[in-house]
Copies of this chain bind each other. A is one copy, B any other.
């Protein structure tokens, strides 16, 4: 029942419309943000696992070439939604940041805005808590670390600060920045805009 990240990525791509294994691979190849492999030895076995679970269906596609059209079915859609709606754990934030962002990216296709807001709230909360841990550790041990170790640690710190800032901004964009629990909307600078593009 589990499913790897690559499987869910393929599921999400198929959620945008039926495709073939070959075209899915091409999408993985051409996307510049490639955390995942596009090798046939990864993609095709993953697709067959999805077929075995009946999360997708295969049908020979019209055309001269040997080609299978893969299509996300209802079971697959449900499995994908279940994955997307998983709670954001500390473990996810610490060790599977890329997977979390993939989940968020794929949410737009099927889930409604409130689900995005829920995700971002949890993401923000766990990120803030983790940042606090990191900061504490940093002030406690920075003096003892060798220079390169300290710098590397500070790189990690900056990465999670970006996560925090991004979550705040994303909450504003998707419309969950103001209301909700314990966030006093009386302060007018909560919707402060920074770093707009274009």
B152 touching A102, Cβ below 8 Å? yes
Within the complex, the shortest CB–CB distance from A55 to chain B, in Å, comes to: 21
Choose from B105, B147, B173 the contact partner of A108 (Cβ within 8 Å): B147
- Kindly state whether residue A9 has any CB partner on chain B within 8 Å: no
A159 touching B156, Cβ below 8 Å? no
- Kindly state whether residue A94 has any CB partner on chain B within 8 Å: yes
Contacts of A152-174 to chain B: CB distance below 8 A:
152-156, 158-159, 161-163, 165-166, 170, 173-174
B146 touching A101, Cβ below 8 Å? no
B108 touching A146, Cβ below 8 Å? yes
Contacts of A12-49 to chain B: CB distance below 8 A:
32-35
Stretch at the interface among A63-71, A75-83, A190-198: A190-198
Q: Size of chain A's interface in residues, with CB distance under 8 A?
A: 44
- Kindly state whether residue A88 has any CB partner on chain B within 8 Å: no
**Given A105-B149, A195-B196, residue A166 in contact with residue B162 (CB < 8 A):** no
A152 touching B196, Cβ below 8 Å? no
Residues of B within 8 A of A159 (CB): 159, 162
Residues of B within 8 A of A104 (CB): 148, 151-152
- Kindly state whether residue A109 has any CB partner on chain B within 8 Å: yes
Closest residue of chain B to A111 (Cβ to Cβ) is B148
Within the complex, the shortest CB–CB distance from A154 to chain B, in Å, comes to: 7
Within the complex, the shortest CB–CB distance from A112 to chain B, in Å, comes to: 11
- Kindly state whether residue A134 has any CB partner on chain B within 8 Å: yes
B102 touching A148, Cβ below 8 Å? no
Closest residue of chain B to A196 (Cβ to Cβ) is B195
Residues of B within 8 A of A52 (CB): none
